[in-house]
Amino acid sequence: MPQQIAVVTGAGTGVGRAVTLELARAGWQLALAGRRAEPLRETARLAGGGLVVPTDVTDPAAVHALFAEAAGHYGRLDLLFNNAGTFGRAVPLEELGHDDWRAVVDLNLTGSFLCAQAAFRQMKEQRPQGGRIINNGSISAHVPRPQSIAYTATKHAVTGLTKSLSLDGRPYRIACGQIDIGNAATEMTAAMSVGARQADGRIVVEPTMDVADVARTVRQMAELPLEANIQFATVLATTMPYIGRG
């Protein structure tokens, strides 16, 4: 099997780091993107190597530079794991400031679009043509949590992004899928062990799952031949409040 090349955004921590390590164990060559250089370097150290490219994915010029550097270093691109994102502040809807709204939209939606667009361009032009994009959605792409309007709206929008990429990529052997994650144990979900607000207003401790289970699922999606695609995968802590609304 020829060497496979992946760009992972949000690779410095959490799901991004776990996916990077899983792909590295499988022999993938990796370009690691994120805002902070030091966590990226630590991920690269744990992975046994990798191209570290500090990147603000909300900045079109920075995204262009990321994919140009990855292409210059590796020569092609087989996978984008489009993972960078933020919950934003949990506040009552009427108190959410415009800057808070924009910060979540810019990172979760615009950043995902810019990275997908750059990957799409490269995958279309390279020879052999094609590649795969996996977007990190969320179970919030299906149902909201209280006080999460910006996060929920962007994750619903990521589903539309995934579908459009899938359709527009067909002529160029570009596959696109989405992984919707519920309560993987990472820094972003640490508050679950203290308690999360429920629809009825209660604060309830929620179960989590090992983030390595997410990483293995992403690897399964990534290693399919381009003639096959996992369009949507939902991976969640088995007993978290979701199915049956409780």
Q: In the chain, how many domains are there?
A: 1
Of 44, 14, 49, nearest in space to 181 by CA: 14
Per-residue DSSP letter, 170: G
pLDDT reported for residue 172:
98
**Strand blocks (E) in 60-153:** 79-82, 131-136
Cα(54)–Cα(51) distance, rounded to whole angstroms?
10
Which CATH number does the domain housing residue 220 bear?
3.40.50.720
Q: Is 230 helix (H, G, I), strand (E, B) or coil?
A: coil
Amino acid in the structure at residue 86: T
Q: How many CA atoms lie within 13 A of 35 on its CB side?
A: 9
pLDDT confidence bin for 245, thresholds 50/70/90: low
Averaged pLDDT, 202-207: 86
Instruction: State yes or no: pLDDT of 170 exceeds 70.
Output: yes
Cα(68)–Cα(96) distance, rounded to whole angstroms?
37
CB 67 within 8 A of CB 76: no
From the candidates 74, 151, 172, 242, give the one annotated as an active-site residue.
151
Q: Report the mean per-residue pLDDT for the chain.
A: 95
pLDDT reported for residue 204:
85
Active site residue 242: no
Range of the domain at 61: 5-244
pLDDT confidence bin for 27, thresholds 50/70/90: very high
Element (DSSP H or E) covering residue 154: helix 149-169
pTM over 0.85: yes
CB 35 within 8 A of CB 56: yes
CB 245 within 8 A of CB 214: no
Averaged pLDDT, 172-192: 89
pLDDT in tens, 59-113: 999 999 999 999 999 999 999 999 999 999 999 999 999 999 999 999 999 999 9
Averaged pLDDT, 164-191: 92
Cα(42)–Cα(39) distance, rounded to whole angstroms?
5
Element (DSSP H or E) covering residue 221: helix 211-222
pLDDT confidence bin for 1, thresholds 50/70/90: low
